[in-house]
C-alpha cells in the first residue's frame, strides 16, 4: 500500500508549494518544531500558516509567518 502523504523538501517549494495553498499542511522546521495549519499565503521568502490547533481560545486566526530558510519540509495529505 502506498503512502497518502505528499512530502515537499525545501528545494521543491518554488514549483510545488503554490498547489497546496488553502490545504491543511504540517510544516517541519530545521529545529524539529512542527506547525500544523492551513497554508494561507506564500511569499517570496516566507509562508503564512493559519494555526488550526489554537482556534479554541480565540476567535481570531492564529497565524505563523515562517521563513523558507527555517523550513525543512512541508507535508500534506494526498487528495483522494
Q: Quote the pLDDT of residue 1.
A: 45
Q: Structural domains in the chain?
A: 5-77 (2.30.30.100)
Residue 79 has pLDDT above 80, yes or no: no
Q: What are phi and psi of 14, to 5 degrees?
A: -60, -40
CA distance 5 to 11: 17
Residue 12 has pLDDT above 50, yes or no: yes
Residue 73 has pLDDT above 90, yes or no: yes
pLDDT > 90 fraction of the chain, expressed in percent and rounded: 51
The 10s digit of each residue's pLDDT in 14-58 is 888 899 999 999 999 999 999 999 999 999 899 999 887 665 555
Closest CA to 7 of 79, 76, 80: 76
pLDDT > 70 fraction of the chain, expressed in percent and rounded: 82
Amino acid at each position: 500500500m502506498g503512502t497518502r502523504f505528499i512530502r515537499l523538501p525545501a528545494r521543491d517549494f518554488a514549483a510545488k508549494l503554490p498547489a497546496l495553498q488553502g490545504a491543511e499542511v504540517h510544516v517541519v522546521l530545521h529545529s524539529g518544531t512542527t506547525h500544523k495549519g492551513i497554508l494561507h499565503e506564500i511569499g517570496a521568502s516566507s509562508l503564512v500558516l493559519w494555526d488550526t490547533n489554537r482556534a479554541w481560545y480565540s476567535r481570531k486566526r492564529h497565524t505563523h509567518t515562517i521563513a523558507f530558510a527555517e523550513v525543512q519540509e512541508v507535508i500534506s495529505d494526498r487528495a483522494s
